[in-house]
A and B are shown apart, each in its own frame.
Chain A
Amino acid sequence: MNIVAQRKNWFILSSVLVVGSLLVIVTLGLKFGIDFTGGSLLEVEFTESVEVDSVRTSLETAGFTDVAVQLTGEHGVIIRTEDLSEDEHQTILTALETDIGASDEMRFDSIGPVIGDELRRTALLGLLMTLVLIGLYIAWAFRKVSEPVASWKYGLLTILAAFHDVLITIGAFALLGHFFGWEIGTAFVAAMLTILGYSINDTVVVFDRTRENLLRRNADTFEETVEMSIKQTFMRSLNTSATTLLALAAIFILGGDSTRPFALALIIGIGVGTYSSLFLASPLLVQWEMMKRK
């Protein structure tokens, strides 16, 4: 299989994934967690089994009508409301205790709208900053290889590939949010940043080999050099991703509910990242050079 020669296929596949993600994000929207929107989340574990309706009735009697109640297992519920003051929080706990029975408060988060706005802003800023910083670093790291490709092109393509990975992961979470109610919070943003940082690993490995082969002049044309580099690094790219994905799989399977979405976001992002570094970044480099020569 000649990866570079078949680059049209990869470009189509990536375009479909990217456009699909964008469509899903725009049409379904993203389901943001309370750390971005502001609001309260109360998780309670009762000693007796519990039903959504009884919890809802109890809350309505206590004066809380705008609530979302979700069961977790047989005894537990997660209650989402607008952000509560400490007094309101205690009112709810008392109401549940009287109406339904003894319970153990697993967690309570109440995020004011100010904090929510701020986190959204900083998260976006963080993503942009990471992209820019990593791009600059790659351009610097490849500064000695300016023939036949300028070093800033490596940087730009690395960023483009990473951005592609992140976008597809967000698209996947738009679907997960729509169908399974998975939320996007600060942990998700942490996953995005990590994907940016890590998926570049693989791209760097391929580009590094390209850089080396270009210096050694191991092949006749630029296209052949790139194809040779991909072939040489194919196994190690797969293996590095495989070990990382295995570690993440352990978190996904055993890490519990709180870290599961986080682990899945990383799995998707790093999986896509491996694909993009082998099948997207290098072929794009070749395509760019061909276009320039025409």
Chain B
Amino acid sequence: MRIAAIVFLLATVVVAGYDFPNVWNNAAHTIEDKTGWLPMTLVDEPFRLGLDLQGGTHLIYEADMSDIPELDRVEALEGVRDVIERRVNAFGVSEPVVQTTTTGGTYRVIIELAGVLEVNEAISLIGETPVLEFKEPGEELDRDPTEEELALLETTNVTERADAQAALSRAIAGEDFETLVQELSIESNIAQTGGIIENISDSSYYGDFSLLINQNGLQDGQVNRTVLENSEGVNIFKLVSSSNQEEMLLSHLLICYEGTTGCENGLSEIDASNKINDLKAQATAQNFAELASANSTGPSAAAGGSLGWSFAGNYVPSFAIAAAELTPGEISEPVLTDFGYHLIYKEESRNTPLHTIQRIVMPLSDVYDVIPGVSPWVNTELSGKHLERAGTEFDHQTGSPYVALTFNSEGGDLFGQLTESHIGEPIAIFLDGTPISTPTVQTAIYGGRAVITGDFTIEEAKLLSQRLNAGALPVPVNLLSQQTIGPTLGAISLEKSISAALFGFLLVALYMLIAYRLPGLIAVIALLLFAFMNLAAYRLFGVTVTLAGIAGFVLSLGIAVDANVLIIERLKEEFESGRDFASSVDEAFARAWTAIRDGNITTLIAAGVLYWFSSSFIRGFAVTLSIGVILSMFTAITVTRAYLKTTLEWKKIRKPQLFGVKRKK
């Protein structure tokens, strides 16, 4: 017992040193000055203070999950948390807390930022969604044309149309068409093509020309009497030649097998061959569509195998030959192509004219030509969602910072295509609607890496890469509540609560001394260790000390001596009943224990419930109160007992008046 008592006394000093390292270190240096021996020094790390004591803000956001399927919501919330965490980190707050809660069908993110003065900035940063876009050259109106511009367009068009009419007159008058093409056409590749377009049918891309030819009954070599306006300009054309070709309305049924293009059914060639023969035996003109829907592995299965009207030239050769040989209403024998085995059903066929024309394209202005502020960029499919990460890097030569982007595999492919088709041209990278970089593509870039160079300072480049990394929030968030404590109020609260704690300790100590004399003094010494142990526990477990937390600590000081009161009262009682000191002490501890246990456990239950339902500020109270109650059971049973027994070994001190006891004679 004596050893235990000494250990506890030493522990009081050591634990106090752990709680207040600066005091410990000062003492250590004083010793060094006097003796030349430096005891171990400690890292002076402050207690972790809550937002209400150091100032800061506590934000609760709710994620709007209405568009997210039930099963994906938790994951989406984690996504929101990650994004917010990255954004908050970009803000440079020390030890930000970002937590999620999902109770009762709500999905929330709780954010605690310590010492943030510009809370509004933090809030806008958290809610903001940076938009990263990759654009290619093109035209995109960024406003509607004005009346003036429309009028200008009209007059320009009048002149242009007049020019085209003049050219048409020359062509009709018999001037050499080839010469006119070379002289007037604005098509970029006329040197090679001479303005010739072959095999136009009504349904082809140049169907407008075909329609006019059929409608006007143009003969070979004849110039069309009217011009044709389309998006390319004003067209003047002549029919070079016409021919009739068979156009077929076909359906087919495909059974692919392992190894053919795009096949996923895993059939062997033998199985596929057997199956197609089987189907051939069943197939009739009436059930073909049905069979195709049920069995075909081709994409046309959905349409009952129908391929629509088309020419033989549009199919792979073996298919085209087999189809051409069929009479309308007939179903072919199995046909093998690179795609697998086909059955072809020819529903109808007709002769369709195909035309070859030669044309002159004359300019015709449109709205993009008259509005000066047209954005020269159009969106591509590639955007910030394809970004895997962004980082700040430095140019080896110039030392200037740039932002390096890494795309995911889809983004890498898109970026590859984009650069491939724009070699020698610029592409633009837009952030939040503003171009931040317009590099010119030197070569096609595969592998999903790109850089944004620009006039960045290091900070700007870092901020940009952080913002890009943060990416877009997967779902929208709403700010539900905000609690902000200014640093001034925090400092005042801290100061006041510390003095309340000290004063509380003094009051309790004084009361114990007056009420219980020597045992009271012993209880106070034990209470000192209790107080220091509490503070040490806050450090060890990283408890955030809040205003309510300090209140919990002070309250636990009051509660901690309760156990001592119970024991001392019991001790007096046992002693008065005639026991000697030593056995009275043992008896007192044994008998007081159940009451101490029950009283403390009920307090722990209340603190537990409080912890469960409360939010950060009040939760601190539950935590410190719980720690206090648990530690108080330890100090009351072990520490006070060791002190009491050791003291009582000293015979001179065994005076009833020191214990406030009247011994029965």
A258 at the interface (CB under 8 A from B): yes
Which of B222-230, B465-473, B555-563 forms contacts with chain A? B555-563
A193/B606 in contact, CB under 8 A: yes
Given the interface contacts A108-B482, A110-B481, does A205 sit within 8 Å of B595 by beta carbon?
yes
CB-CB under 8 A from B488, the residues of chain A are 45, 104, 106
Q: A246-B504, A250-B500 in contact; A200/B481 too (CB < 8 A)?
A: no
B605 within 8 A of A: yes
- Whether A137 lies near B601 (C-beta < 8 A) is yes
How far is A77 from B383 in the complex, measured between Cα atoms in Å? 49
In this complex, what residue of B is CB-closest to A266?
B555
Query: Which residue on A lies nearest to B127, using beta carbons?
Result: A86
> Which residue of chain A has its CB nearest to the CB of B597?
A141
A256 lies within 8 A of B558 (CB): no
A223 at interface, CB cutoff 8 A: no
Q: Which of B479, B547, B602, B621 contacts A138 (CB 8 A)?
A: B602
Cα(A104)–Cα(B490), bound, Å: 12
A183 within 8 A of B: no
| Residue in contact with B594 in the complex, picked from A106, A200, A208, A255, CB distance below 8 Å | A208
Are B500's CB and A187's CB within 8 A? no
Q: Let me know if A197 is at the binding interface, CB within 8 A.
A: yes
Instruction: Please report whether the interface of chain B is mostly helix, strand, loop or mixed according to DSSP.
Output: helix
Nearest CB of B to A40, in Å = 9
Measured CB to CB, the closest approach of chain B to A265, in angstroms, equals: 11
CB pair A197 B605 closer than 8 Å: yes
A65 nearest CB across to chain B (Å): 22
Q: Which of B85-111 contact A (CB under 8 A)?
A: 104, 106
Stretch with Cβ within 8 A of B (4 or more), from A54-62, A118-126, A169-177, A286-294? A118-126
Interfacial chain A residues near B512, Cβ < 8 Å: 243
B120, B488, B489: residue with the most chain A Cβ atoms closer than 10 Å: B489
Is the CB–CB distance between A109 and B484 below 8 Å? yes
- 0 or 1 for each of A101-135: is its CB under 8 Å from B? (1 = yes): 00011111111101100110011011001100110
**For B610, what are the chain A residues with a Cβ–Cβ distance below 8 Å?**
126, 189-190, 193-194
Structural contact, B565 and A239, CB atoms closer than 8 A: yes
Cross-chain contact A249 with B607 (CB below 8 angstroms): no
- Residue among B60, B565, B598, B599 with the highest chain A CB neighbour number at 10 A: B598
Contact with A along B519-547 (1 / 0, CB 8 A): 00000000000000000000000000001
Among B493, B561, B562, B594, residue most surrounded by chain A Cβ atoms (within 10 Å): B562
Q: Of B104, B551, B605, which is within 8 A of A134 by CB?
A: B605
Q: Contacts A90-B120, A126-B610, A205-B599; is A107 near B486 (CB within 8 Å)?
A: yes
Q: Which residues of A contact B548 (CB under 8 A)?
A: 187, 190, 259, 262
A238-294 interface with B by 8 A CB criterion: 239-240, 242-251, 253-256, 258-259, 262-263, 266
Residues of B within 8 A of A115 (CB): 60, 480-481
A246 and B565 contacting across the interface, CB-CB below 8 Å: no
Are B555 and A105 neighbours in the complex by a CB distance under 8 Å? no
B201 within 8 Å of A (CB atoms): no
Among the listed stretches B29-37, B182-190, B255-263, B611-619, which one makes contact with chain A, having 4 or more residues with CB under 8 Å of it? B611-619
- Complex-state Cα separation, A134 to B601, whole angstroms: 9
Q: Is the C-beta of B499 less than 8 angstroms from some C-beta in chain A? A: yes
Taken together as a complex, chains A and B put the C-alpha atoms of A193 and B621 apart, in Å, by 11
A108-B484, A126-B609, A240-B565 as given contacts; A197 in contact with B602, CB under 8 Å = yes
Residues of chain A within 8 A of B557, CB atoms compared:
247
Q: Do A246 and B120 touch (CB < 8 A)?
A: no
Chain A nearest CB from B527 CB (Å) reads: 10
Knowing A114-B480, A243-B561, A253-B503, the reply to whether A107 touches B489 (Cβ < 8 A) is yes
A208 B480 Cβ-Cβ under 8 A:
no
Contact check, B606 vs A198: say whether CB atoms are below 8 A apart.
Answer: yes
A134 to B602, CA, bound (A): 6
Q: Is A186 an interface residue (CB 8 A)?
A: yes
Within 8 A of A (CB), among B616-640: 617-618, 621-622, 625
Report yes or no: A112 in contact with B481, Cβ–Cβ below 8 A.
Answer: yes
Which residues of B lie under 8 Å from residue A204 when comparing CB positions?
595, 598-599, 602
Q: Assuming A115-B60, A204-B595, is B562 touching A194 (CB within 8 A)?
A: no
Please, how many angstroms separate the alpha-carbon atoms of A256 and B53 in the complex? 12
Inter-chain contact A254/B482, CB cutoff 8 Å: no
Known A-B contacts A123-B613, A205-B566, A208-B598; the reply to A244 vs B606 at CB < 8 A is no
Q: List 8 A-B contacts (CB under 8 A).
A: A86-B479, A89-B120, A106-B486, A130-B605, A130-B606, A137-B605, A186-B615, A246-B511
B residues lining the A interface (CB < 8 Å): 52, 60, 62, 104, 106, 119-120, 123-124, 479-486, 488-489, 492-493, 496-497, 499-501, 503-504, 507-508, 511-512, 515, 547-548, 550-551, 554-555, 557-559, 561-562, 565-566, 569, 573, 591, 594-595, 597-607, 609-610, 612-615, 617-618, 621-622, 625
Other 13 A-B pairs with CB < 8 A, given A122-B613, A245-B558: A89-B482, A105-B484, A110-B482, A114-B480, A115-B480, A134-B602, A134-B605, A186-B617, A197-B607, A204-B595, A212-B591, A247-B507, A251-B497
Of all A-B residue pairs in the complex, the 4 with the closest CB atoms, nearest first, are A197-B606, A247-B558, A250-B504, A244-B558
